[in-house]
Structure 1
Amino acid sequence: MNVAVSPGAHPALVLNADYRPLSYYPLSLWSWQDAVKAVFLDRVNIVAEYDVCVRSPSFEFRLPSVVSLKSFIKPSRHPAFTRFNVFLRDRFQCQYCGIRDDLTFDHLIPRSKGGQTTWQNVITACSPCNLRKANKSCRDINMWPMQMPFAPTVQDLHNNGRLFPPNYLHDSWLDFLYWDTELEP
């Protein structure tokens, strides 16, 4: 199929050398331009292609939809402590009431009482619950999280990331995104 290819169209799913995505959330994607460049620099293998070509006056090339790195990148063992990763660990829901709107984070032991900003003391909370708890301890206000905070592994975050698939999933990506999930009987 020969069509004009817009710059933001036809991203390529990027797999590590073991054919697992580099990241699930956000999903490891490259623009078609970066994927083509990596092919020509011999950094990736083409695993699957779109039915779309790009052309120069002397060359035609089908756009890759899935590429795998030729060199394995060892995944980080310990995810970075970021607001996004706290939200992902807590599945983007308030750990007090379960809603998914107006999220912030809360210190179980308030900072004003010596609480640290660490994996073990920070949870996702909606603004109303956070305001209600204020600078009190969970015990003082009898307000307990559904899940106690913990330092997640990369696998924990990947598993949670699978619960929030991106808006666009090309058919050629599906075998690589969910190949290690448990099958239904």
Structure 2
Amino acid sequence: MAIQTLVLNSDFRPLSCNPPSSWHWKDAVTAIILNRVSLVAEYDQVVRSPSVTMRVPSVVALKQYQRLDGWPAFTRFNIYCRDKWLCQYCGRRFSSDALTFDHVQPRSRGGKSSWENIVAACAPCNHRKANRTPSEAGMKLLRPPYTPTRRELVMAAPRYPQSDVHHSWLDFLYWDSELES
């Protein structure tokens, strides 16, 4: 299930509108369980664990206000935006649900989960590289990982037509608001 959850700041405004600030639904469920966000809206789909049954969150709001100046959030979606949905090893374009992310310097060797060490990768390239550096695996990066600016991510992000988002997001993204003349 490649369902996204819209993430709002604690003032119920999106952290960004283009692309809409979103998390994978699993990350949103984790944040709800850890009491980091408030549930605002749900999808009809249900997920179950041995002890919990809940509907998949559609919209959540952060409990602590996040200032929007500075660098963009370090998220899987933003990594894919920065890398333009291209595997950074083979150069082919993939959808979000077909991409993984790869630690250039493997975690087992002290590599951190950071903008400067993670790239988008397709599963075959990620498996081929395995627990090695790109040079050890005989693979070359299209470009080294780096921290993007918010503007760069907005320019790289796909445009979301209103028909492509769940109806529960519309009130928060303001697409259905009449413009003043």
**TM-score, structure 1 as length reference:** 0.50
Q: Would you identify which runs of 4 or more consecutive aligned residues in structure 1 move more than 2 Å?
A: none
Alpha-carbon deviations, 1:135-178, whole Å to 9, x = none?
011111121111210001111111112xx112348xxx8xxxxx
**Match of residue 172 from structure 2:** none
2:79 matches 1:83: no
Structure (1 or 2) with the larger CA radius of gyration: 1
2:132 matches 1:136: yes
Matching residue's letter, 2:113: T
**Count of matched residue positions in the alignment of Structure 1 and Structure 2:** 104
**How far apart, CA to CA, are the structure 2 residues paired with 1:166 and 1:113?**
39
- Over aligned residues, Cα RMSD in angstroms? 2.6
**Match of residue 106 from structure 1:** 102
**How far apart, CA to CA, are the structure 1 residues paired with 2:159 and 2:69?**
22
2:13 matches 1:24: no
**TM-score, structure 2 as length reference:** 0.51
Task: Specify which of 85, 88, 102 is matched with residue 92 of structure 1.
Answer: 85
**How far apart, CA to CA, are the structure 2 residues paired with 1:26 and 1:95?**
24
**Match of residue 37 from structure 2:** none
**Match of residue 159 from structure 2:** 165
**How far apart, CA to CA, are the structure 1 residues paired with 2:162 and 2:74?**
28
